[in-house]
Amino acid sequence: MKKVSRWLRNILIFFFTSTILSVVILKYIPVYITPLMLIRAVEQMASGETPTIRHHWVPLEQISHNLPQAVMASEDNLFLKHKGFDLEQIQKAQLEAQEGKRQRGASTISQQTARNVFLWQKRSWLRKGLEAYFTFLIEAIWGKERIMEVYLNSIEMGKGIYGADAVARINFKTTPDKLTKEQCAYIAVSLPNPLERDSAHPTAKMRKMHNTVLKRMKQIDQFPKDACAR
């Protein structure tokens, strides 16, 4: 029993030390690759395609302030207020699931960032537990601006397209700092399913959602606070 206890203790020490250290390191250096990028590349190879990862890290100050506004309006309007979890939306999603309604996501931008950078996409109780753990860590260690910066650089925005720079150049033939409100709203609308929703070629349903996002953007505080100065 002593050996088993020592073994478990060492595993826990290694887990907490390595995960906390990785979060601290990624507070200061760009995230160049994520598990999802690798998973998608493997899926492409499995289907006989050439694996493609189009991604280039850019600082938050080089991304149009319209994009944080749009993703908050579409994905997480309480991003600036919560501590990583939107409990009200989680409860609503649980109630809808119990009533047999179509399952929907209730993940905040912080949770999505934790999942994209540190974990896998397939749902399981293990992943949910680890996602909550990493969400707590990045909220405590990174802060909102760094979370948003990593999110906008790592989120999947199309087939083989990851981050603001890639989607700006490929879908809109511009740079991320020149993205307009309309373009950012289309990007935000595509995020729940970027492999099916093309921000460069929106459907009628996407255009309707796009108008809703534009209205919501006006109701959200400017982020970052110095965005107007850029």
Task: Please give the pLDDT value at position 86.
Answer: 80
Whole-structure pTM value: 0.89
Q: What is the mean pLDDT of residues 106-130?
A: 92
pLDDT digits (tens, 9 = 90+) for 170-212: 999 999 999 999 999 999 999 999 999 999 999 999 999 999 9
Number of H helices, E strands in the chain: 10, 3
- Max Cα distance, the chain (Å): 64
Task: Give the CA distances from residue 218 to residues 82, 188, 192, 206, 212, in Å, rounded to whole numbers and listed in that order.
Answer: 19, 15, 21, 19, 11
DSSP single-letter state for residue 178: G
pLDDT digits (tens, 9 = 90+) for 41-82: 999 999 999 999 999 999 999 999 999 999 999 999 999 999
- And the tokens for 107? 């993940």
Count of domains observed in the chain: 1
Q: Is the pLDDT of residue 18 over 50?
A: yes
The rounded distance, in Å, linking the Cα atoms of 166 and 161 is 6
Question: What burial letters (b/e) apply to 105-117, b meaning 16+ CB within 10 Å?
Answer: ebbbbbbbbbbbb
- Res. 89 pLDDT band, cuts 50 70 90: low
Q: Which domain holds residue 128?
A: 2-229
The rounded distance, in Å, linking the Cα atoms of 123 and 47 is 23
Other CB atoms closer than 10 Å to residue 22's CB: what's the count?
14
C-beta separation of 115 from 121 below 8 A? yes
Task: Tell me the residue type at 213.
Answer: V
List the strands of the sheet with 161-162, edge to edge. Answer: 54-55, 161-162, 156-158
Question: Which CATH number goes with the domain that contains 141?
Answer: 1.10.3810.10
